[in-house]
Amino acid sequence: MNIDIICPLYNAEAQIEKLNNSILKQKDVKINEIKYILTESKDNTEQKLKELKIQYKKIKKEEFSHSLTREQEALNSKADIIVFITQDIIIEKDNWLHNLTKDIENGLVDACYSRQLCNNNTIEKYTRESNYPNKSRIVSKKDIDKLGLNTFFFSDASSAIKKETFIKLNGYDSKKMPTNEDMYIAYKLIMNGYKIKYCADSEVIHSHKFTLKQYYNRYKDTGKFFKENTYFENYKVNKSGVNMAKYILKRAFQDMNIKVLINYLPNMAVRYIGMKKGRKN
């Protein structure tokens, strides 16, 4: 099967060369096209793309949508497998793409997502450890009773889906979503009888250093997503939020990570308040 990689870009001048080179170094895969979609930027991303002779499509800021931008490129793809990535991942291994797509190619599953590692000592280091363990797993509709809402955990920071299946499911239903488009498609996959694999052997580094305001805004958007998609409330959270908070605190004490320990309560508070605000408004 051949593969199209879809990657939105915005202010990606510092990232694009390394990212593109790491994709070209992937082994045992057939890459049909790397589809970069550049939103009007404030830096020199466009100039960098031209210097590197990398093909891209340019859109205006008001045209960009996490769901619609990806959906449009996916629907126009001629490949068998669609891979979604974000510009800020770091790919260090040449088997990342093969390990992400091999079980779609062999018919075991219809969608996959990669393991995400963090290379800083922020709270994100511990959330990555909890959400992306070192053991792969496959989930399907039969796992809902056990996993609840976590059955639909998915991330298009690095994910793959069979093109034919994406078409059958009508992608993101032409909805303009500010966030959680990956969870939206995961729900459709699971509820229509498809399987999703978490590929622990397909690794990317994906790290941020968010401010409290940025965390607030992200969780506000997430709260808004859940308000607009109320059917997710039918599935138990299975104490995942509480367990995550406990895990972060435990690991921060183990590492004696003072910055995380100091920031812990404010961080958890802005997440909670942001989520509540998004659901309310």
Question: pLDDT at residue 240 above 80?
Answer: no
What token pair was written down for 215? Answer: 């965390």
- Chain mean pLDDT for the chain: 95
Q: Which of 154, 189, 209 is the last residue of a domain?
A: 209
**One domain for residues 269 and 200:** no
The CA R_g of the chain, rounded to the nearest whole Å, is 19
Question: pLDDT at residue 154 above 90?
Answer: yes
**One domain for residues 195 and 278:** no
CA distance 116 to 109: 20
**One domain for residues 94 and 192:** yes
Question: pLDDT at residue 34 above 80?
Answer: yes
CA distance 167 to 75: 7
Length of the chain: 281
**One domain for residues 124 and 97:** yes
**One domain for residues 235 and 247:** yes
Handedness of CA 215, 216, 217, 223 (dihedral sign): positive
Q: Alpha carbon of 259 to those of 22, 123, 250, 252, 265: distances in Å?
A: 32, 9, 14, 9, 11
Q: Which of 180, 209, 238 is the last residue of a domain?
A: 209
Question: Residues 123-127: what's their mean pLDDT?
Answer: 95
pLDDT for residue 113: 98
**One domain for residues 60 and 49:** yes
Question: Residues 179-190: what's their mean pLDDT?
Answer: 97
**One domain for residues 180 and 235:** no
Q: Which of 186, 209, 232 is the last residue of a domain?
A: 209
Residue 240's domain spans which residues? Answer: 210-281
> Pick the residue with more confidence: 244 or 108?
108
Question: pLDDT at residue 265 above 90?
Answer: yes
**One domain for residues 120 and 139:** yes
Residue 76's pLDDT band (boundaries 50, 70, 90)? very high
**One domain for residues 268 and 199:** no
Total domains in the chain come to: 2
**One domain for residues 233 and 186:** no
Give residue for tokens 């060369």: 17
pLDDT for residue 232: 94
Q: What is the CATH number of the domain that holds 131?
A: 3.90.550.10
pLDDT for residue 151: 95
Give exposure, 156-189, as e/b (b: 16+ Cβ within 10 Å): bbbbbbbbebbeebebbeeeebbbbbbbbbbbbb
Question: pLDDT at residue 244 above 90?
Answer: no
Question: pLDDT at residue 239 above 80?
Answer: no
CA distance 30 to 145: 38
pLDDT, tens only, 103-115: 999 999 999 999 9
**One domain for residues 19 and 142:** yes
Question: Residues 29-34: what's their mean pLDDT?
Answer: 98
**One domain for residues 181 and 79:** yes
pTM as predicted: 0.94
Q: Alpha carbon of 21 to those of 25, 52, 90, 237, 277: distances in Å?
A: 6, 10, 11, 40, 41
Question: Residues 138-165: what's their mean pLDDT?
Answer: 96
Question: pLDDT at residue 238 above 80?
Answer: no
